[in-house]
Amino acid sequence: MEPYTWALDRACAREFETLEPKERRQIFEFLDSLARHPFHEGHMRYRDCAGFEFRVCFLGDLDLHYRLDHAAREIRVAVVERHPSLEQ
């Protein structure tokens, strides 16, 4: 099977620019792996107000929210955010 492609939403791309190079590499590696195996379940799922199903994967202290577009064979990343710390 040909791998999927992936894309970052504009707001997500801006947030992505603020990450450390190591964190960006980690996300690239995860997305490349996900493109080869797009049916990975993720850690959580939710639906947005338009009815799209999003999956969330926890990558260290980062949360990655994405949805799969099987017709376009694309992974659409909507949110990359730092996971809230439990330590104060």
Q: Which pLDDT band holds residue 88 (cuts at 50, 70, 90)?
A: very low
Is-contact 65 77, C-beta < 8 A?
yes
pTM of the model: 0.86
Is-contact 47 56, C-beta < 8 A?
no
pLDDT in tens, 39-85: 888 899 999 999 999 999 999 889 999 999 999 999 999 999 887 76
d(CA 85, CA 4): 32
* Pairing relationship of beta strands 5-8 and 53-59 according to DSSP bridges: unpaired
Q: Which pLDDT band holds residue 16 (cuts at 50, 70, 90)?
A: confident
